[in-house]
């Protein structure tokens, strides 16, 4: 019973959950092992409302955390850090493995809340939760392997290195993968011996608190993973807090720049996972069916609200017509509607302002000469409760040119811009002609060309003959203005630890004085 009582939403309610039926009253901050109302003081006590994208209903609201609450959250994390960082890697590993197991056990509950809060189909939320527990399990495995080096020096002296945690890390998340982002940041942070204060996006505050409860149930010290809710001001307080050593941020480029500026004032470590406008390049020697699948995967998961989406689809001229015919036909069959229904393949966009923004990009694209081949307008489901949801039909824009706004800017919605090209050299230059560098994709049957392209493309991740797969073993992170630092993969350890060198003199010091 204890387990059920501490949950964000009672299991009985969750299992019976239907779109439009959830109302929450529980506090959404999590500090020192329990949910709390944020401490008043030092903030503007602004209340933010949380919407259900599929219905437009308010699910709950919360008070944004101010200075006093941030101080308490960081202080509590610091206390937990002292105990946690002294454990052996194997001891930390055991607790994190239990957390991964609990996430698996609560998979359906977390996925339901995620779909209600983000608007994405339940089938996708389940995969998000799987990717999340895999990250926790993966870094649990790595925790016991963290070690330094021994370095032999002349005269019998030697040195060794210690791989040490950083301290209290801050995680700041975007709204598109709320639970997964919280896990991708906290799993390596905790595995390396750090504590974390996490701030979800104010649009999606719910599932990070479920993760906090799971960590507590798994046995981490109270305070090791605290959650504070809020928006710009709260984020800013976290990035400037003197008790914080690192900020790992996922969000847009403009906010990432502000985060880096703020963190720089106290020389904090920073990881930035920012936006993109990634190219997907389809050569005429590809398997066309697979390339069409790739283009759909690269554009329409999570209503197109995916940072590494391949939204600039370059198709070699001689297969352009065949490609368009197939991709448009497939896109028209995507089933839109209630995110909690099993056969829904596209849900609602995150908010009304965001939907309006995406639609205005399409309007502008038309004015600039693009041809709407399908979708691009509002979708109003038949069911009465979904009438005020933020739905739109997935859109394919043909006749795009490099200088169009829809090709240059991140739209972050279900909008694919299709461009044609003639030669490999030409497409490399055009694909790289962007300030972003998050991901890229290539479809071709020519092996040497595929690897030549992967080497030439300026992006942190290159997919060959697939798109948007994210196994936890592979480091993920951007080039150029898409950010720096990695999440996932062993490389991430570098970003949550610091290396101390210890010199040991075995003789007498040589001294000129």
Residues interacting with ligand NAI, by CB under 6 A?
172-176, 199, 201-202, 231-232, 235-236, 239, 250-252, 255, 258-259, 273-276, 307, 410, 412, 438, 478
Closest CB to ligand NAI: residue number: 235
Q: For the sheet containing 246-250, what is the strand order?
A: 34-36, 29-31, 225-227, 195-199, 168-172, 246-250, 269-273, 483-484
Identify the active-site residue in 114, 273, 410, 424.
Answer: 273
Q: Which is nearer to ligand NAI, 167 or 485 (CB)?
A: 485
Give the separation between CA 246 and CA 250, rounded to whole angstroms: 13
Q: Which is closer to ligand NAI, CB of 89 or CB of 256? A: 256
Q: Would strands 168-172 and 246-250 be described as parallel, antiparallel, or unpaired? A: parallel
Residue 216 or 229: the one with the smaller Cβ distance to ligand NAI is: 229
SS3 (DSSP) at 450: helix
Residue 406 CB, nearest approach to ligand NAI (Å): 15
Find how far residue 410's CA is from the centre of its chain.
16
Least distance (Å) between residue 30 CB and ligand NAI: 16
Is residue 452 classed exposed, middle or buried when 0-12, 13-18 and 19+ CB atoms within 10 A define those classes?
Answer: middle
CB of 226 to ligand NAI, least distance (A): 15
Task: Quote the least distance from Cβ 250 to ligand NAI, whole Å.
Answer: 5
Of residues 14 and 247, the one with the C-beta less far from ligand NAI: 247
Query: Among 423, 377, 402, which Cα is nearest to 312's?
Result: 402
Nearest CB to ligand NAI, comparing residues 273 and 424: 273
For residue 322, the SS3 value is helix
Based on the residue annotation, tell me whether 403 is a catalytic residue of this protein: no
For 131-179, the DSSP string reads: HHHHHHHHHHHHHTT----EEE-GGG-EEEEEEEE-SEEEEE--SSSHH
Residue 146 CB, shortest distance to ligand NAI, in Å, is 24
| CA distance readout (Å), 61 to 24, 46, 114, 495 | 8, 10, 16, 34
Cite the active site residues: 273
């Amino acid at each position: 019973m204890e387990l059920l009582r501490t949950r964000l939403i009672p299991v009985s309610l969750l299992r019976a959950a239907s779109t439009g039926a959830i109302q929450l009253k529980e506090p959404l901050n999590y500090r020192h092992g329990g949910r709390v109302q944020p401490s008043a003081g030092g903030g503007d006590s602004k209340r933010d409302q949380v919407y259900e994208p599929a219905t437009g209903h308010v699910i709950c609201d919360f008070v944004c955390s101010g200075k006093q609450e941030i101080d308490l959250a960081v202080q509590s994390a610091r206390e937990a850090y002292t105990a946690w960082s002294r454990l052996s890697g194997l001891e930390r590993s055991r607790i994190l493995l239990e957390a991964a197991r609990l996430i698996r056990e609560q998979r359906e509950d977390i996925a339901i809340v995620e779909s209600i809060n983000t608007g994405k189909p339940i089938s996708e939320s389940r995969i998000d939760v799987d990717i999340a527990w895999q990250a926790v399990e993966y870094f649990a495995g790595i925790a016991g392997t963290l070690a330094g080096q021994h370095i032999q020096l002349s005269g019998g002296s030697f040195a060794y290195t210690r791989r040490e945690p950083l301290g209290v890390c801050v995680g700041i998340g975007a709204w598109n993968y709320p639970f997964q982002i919280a896990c991708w940041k906290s799993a390596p942070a905790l595995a390396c011996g750090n504590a974390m204060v996490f701030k979800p996006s104010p649009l999606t505050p719910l599932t990070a608190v479920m993760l906090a409860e799971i960590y507590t149930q798994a046995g981490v010290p109270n305070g090791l993973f605290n959650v504070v809710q809020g928006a710009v001001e709260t984020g800013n307080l976290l990035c400037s807090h003197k008790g914080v050593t690192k900020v790992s941020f996922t969000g847009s480029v403009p906010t990432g720049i502000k985060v880096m500026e703020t963190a720089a004032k106290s020389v904090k470590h920073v990881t930035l996972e920012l936006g993109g406008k990634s190219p997907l390049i389809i050569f005429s020697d590809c398997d066309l069916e697979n390339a069409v699948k790739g283009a759909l995967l690269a554009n329409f998961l999570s209503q197109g609200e995916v940072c590494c989406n391949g939204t600039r689809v370059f198709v070699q001229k001689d297969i352009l017509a065949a490609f368009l015919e197939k991709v448009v036909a497939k896109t028209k069959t995507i089933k839109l509607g209630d995110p909690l229904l099993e056969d829904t393949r596209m849900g609602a966009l995150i908010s009304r302002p965001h939907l309006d923004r995406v639609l205005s990009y399409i309007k502008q694209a038309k004015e600039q000469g693009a041809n709407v081949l399908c979708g691009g307008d509002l979708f109003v489901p038949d069911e009465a409760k979904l009438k005020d949801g933020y739905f739109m039909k997935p859109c394919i824009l043909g006749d795009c040119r490099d200088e169009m706004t829809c090709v240059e800017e991140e739209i972050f919605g279900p909008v694919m811009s299709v461009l044609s090209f003639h030669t490999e050299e030409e497409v490399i230059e055009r694909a790289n002609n962007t300030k972003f560098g998050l991901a890229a994709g290539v479809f071709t049957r020519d092996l040497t060309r595929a690897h030549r392209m992967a080497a030439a493309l300026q992006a942190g991740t290159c997919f060959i003959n697939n798109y948007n797969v994210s196994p936890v073993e592979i480091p993920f992170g951007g080039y150029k203005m898409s950010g720096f630092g990695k999440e996932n993969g062993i490389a991430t350890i570098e970003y949550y630890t610091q290396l101390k060198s210890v010199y040991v003199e075995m003789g007498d010091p040589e001294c000129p004085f």
